[in-house]
């Protein structure tokens, strides 16, 4: 996993501000990459994050055609910009059984961070957010703690204690 | 939402994705972050397949608008086109059977 200069523009507080209990799935029951993306998009649609689930789902599927967003070490960051997304949004999900995500290292994915953005991202935080997630999840201890966190507040505690 | 409008929005998202990733600066940033985005031909193929599903006249208008502006499809809120910011003369509910265009800039409209 590569580092990202862009992530330096984002503080831990900024990162944590994108996490929300309504956008946390403690244990996804999907077994496939497409199933996981579908479940995460449905979760957001049910919470009125956007009006058109099909467009967001198809956009994310198209993004996967560019190359898998499974970046290795059990982490995937499915992401994309969509015309039907109003705000930069992050959904965090975990999978205890692991999902085959065509990841770079071929290993199953346990931590999933879905990031959706509008085409015009006024504060230009889309790439910094992607970079920050990559940066914090490079640490094996952080990944292990994120998996073990027993409630949403424990997830944000882990992130606030990251050395970054 | 009108299914033809849905397809146009998706086509626009795909075109903007291809445009973004074809920009060497963005591609290099993505690569530095850790994402390999080297399979643009897959997206171009998907784009062609999607474009074939659009009525030729509608597609021609879409292509013309994409050339003229950066976007061919624009959100509308409070009856105002959010691309040209001009008010529409009649209320747009988004549930119409036909596809509506902005009365001023002619972009296709959708409710966000």
Contact B46, B69 (CB under 8 A): no
Contact criterion met (CB < 8 Å) for B13 and A82: yes
Q: Which of B35, B60, B112 is nearest to A55 (CA)?
A: B112
DSSP state at residue A108: P
Q: Which of A14, A18, A71, A68 is nearest to B33 (CA)?
A: A71
Around Cβ B43, how many Cβ atoms within 10 Å?
20
DSSP state at residue A75: E
Task: For residues A14 and A60, give the distance between their C-alpha atoms in angstroms, rounded to a whole number.
Answer: 24
Contact B92, B110 (CB under 8 A): no
**Chain A residues lying within 8 Å of B39, measured CB to CB:** 65-67
ipTM of the complex: 0.88
Q: What is the pLDDT of residue A123?
A: 80
- Give the CATH number, domain containing residue B11: 1.10.287.1490
CA angle A5, A9, A15 (to 5 degrees): 110
% residues pLDDT > 90 (chain A): 80
% residues pLDDT > 70 (chain A): 95
Find the DSSP H helices in A47-114.
Answer: 53-66
Residues found in chain B: 112
**Chain B residues lying within 8 Å of A58, measured CB to CB:** 10, 13
Specify which residues A164 forms β-bridges with: none
Contact criterion met (CB < 8 Å) for B33 and A2: yes
Burial environment of residue A13 by CB neighbours within 10 A (0 to 12, 13 to 18, 19 or more) = exposed
Task: For residues A115 and A107, give the distance between their C-alpha atoms in angstroms, rounded to a whole number.
Answer: 21
Q: What is the pLDDT of residue A104?
A: 86
pTM of the model: 0.91
Q: What is the pLDDT of residue A6?
A: 53
Which sequence spans correspond to the domains of chain A?
5-160
To the nearest whole Å, the CA of B47 is away from the closest chain A CA by 9
pLDDT in tens, A102-153: 998 999 999 999 999 999 877 889 999 999 999 999 999 999 999 999 899 9
Number of separate helices (H) and strands (E) present in chain A: 6, 6
Q: What is the pLDDT of residue B90?
A: 80
What superfamily in CATH does domain A5-160 come from?
Mannitol-specific EII; Chain A (3.40.930.10)
**Chain B residues lying within 8 Å of A7, measured CB to CB:** 33
DSSP-assigned letters across all residues of A20-57: -GGGEESS----BHHHHHHHHHHHHHHTTS-S-HHHHH
Closest chain A residue to the Cα of B47, Cα to Cα: A62
| Counted domains in chain B | 1
Touching check for B82 and chain A: CB below 8 Å?
Answer: no
Task: For residues A152 and A72, give the distance between their C-alpha atoms in angstroms, rounded to a whole number.
Answer: 24
To the nearest whole Å, the CA of A54 is away from the closest chain B CA by 8
pLDDT in tens, B61-98: 999 999 999 899 999 988 899 999 998 888 777 776 78
Contact criterion met (CB < 8 Å) for A2 and B31: yes
Say whether A79 is catalytic: yes
Q: For B27, how many CA atoms within 13 A lie in the half-sphere containing its CB?
A: 13
Q: What is the pLDDT of residue B38?
A: 76
Q: Which of A82, A108, A94 is nearest to A23 (CA)?
A: A94
pLDDT in tens, A34-92: 999 999 999 999 998 888 999 999 999 999 998 899 999 999 999 999 999 999 999 99
């Amino acid at each position: 996993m590569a580092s990202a200069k862009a992530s330096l523009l984002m503080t831990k507080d900024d990162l944590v501000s994108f996490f929300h209990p309504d956008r946390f799935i403690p244990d996804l029951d999907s077994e496939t990459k497409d199933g996981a993306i579908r479940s995460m998009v449905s979760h957001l649609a049910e919470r009125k994050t956007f009006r058109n689930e099909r467009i967001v789902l198809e956009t994310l599927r198209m993004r996967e055609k560019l190359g898998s967003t499974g970046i290795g070490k059990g982490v995937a960051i499915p992401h994309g910009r969509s015309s039907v997304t109003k705000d930069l949004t992050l959904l965090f999900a975990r999978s205890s059984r692991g999902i085959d995500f065509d990841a770079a290292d071929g290993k199953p994915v346990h931590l999933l961070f879905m990031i959706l953005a509008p085409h015009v991202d006024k504060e230009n935080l889309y790439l910094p957010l992607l970079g920050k997630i990559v940066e914090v999840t490079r640490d094996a201890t952080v990944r292990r703690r994120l998996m073990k966190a027993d409630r949403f507040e424990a997830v944000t505690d882990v992130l606030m204690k990251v050395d970054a | 939402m009108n299914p033809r409008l849905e397809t146009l929005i998706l086509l626009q998202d795909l075109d903007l994705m291809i445009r973004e990733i074809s920009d060497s600066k963005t591609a290099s940033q993505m690569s530095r972050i850790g994402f390999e985005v080297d399979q643009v031909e897959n997206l171009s193929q998907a784009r062609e397949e999607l474009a074939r599903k659009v009525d030729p006249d509608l597609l021609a208008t879409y292509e013309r608008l994409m050339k003229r502006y950066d976007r061919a499809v624009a959100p509308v809120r409070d009856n105002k086109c959010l691309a040209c910011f001009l008010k529409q003369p009649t209320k747009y509910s988004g549930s119409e059977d036909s596809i509506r265009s902005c009365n001023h800039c002619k972009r296709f409209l959708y409710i966000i």
